[in-house]
Amino acid sequence: MGGRKILIGREDIEKRVKELGEEISRKYAGEKLIVIGVLKGAWIFMADLVRAMNIDVFCDFVRVSSYGTSTESSGEICLLYWPDLDFSGKRVLVVDDIADTGLTSNFLKQKFLGEGAVSVEFCVLLDKPSRRKTDFKPDYTGFTIPDHFVVGYGMDCNESYRNLPHVEIYQD
């Protein structure tokens, strides 16, 4: 990577994730919540987020792709893994790394509702509203960022940089 530019530092991420966990815990107090992480980018965020919650959660993952090896979304959503769960009558919180075009989020929302979920909410670490191609708006947002390709804290470029403890702007 050429010159590194940290966009969101480790301490800011830790503080915001704790706040999100507390907010979600208040909303779902006394209820069981299915937390679904979107692989691969959200796994670190999801792990920290569920540890910041003080409610009963069941965790699983979905895997979708709209990027392939590119830094631009193709707009086509490929479902690569879907959990073998009964979502009927359940509340679902989808945890994702970035809300970008909104196409994947809308696809997932319709899929969970189609499988009987009574509610589907989204918690994203990063929101890029300038890239939106739909009317999607996350229910919980860590940080709103400008249109940069970012890596770190689980997010990658061709499977590299996921282990960075912060979010930085990717530069060749």
Give me the active site residues, please: 100
Task: Say how many residues make up the chain.
Answer: 172
Q: Which residue from 88, 102, 166 is spatially nearest to 132, judged by alpha carbons?
A: 102
DSSP for 56-106 reads EEEEEEEEEES-TTSSS--S--EEEE------TT-EEEEEEEEE-SSHHHH
What CA–CA distance (Å, rounded) separates 29 from 70? 40
What CA–CA distance (Å, rounded) separates 35 from 22? 15
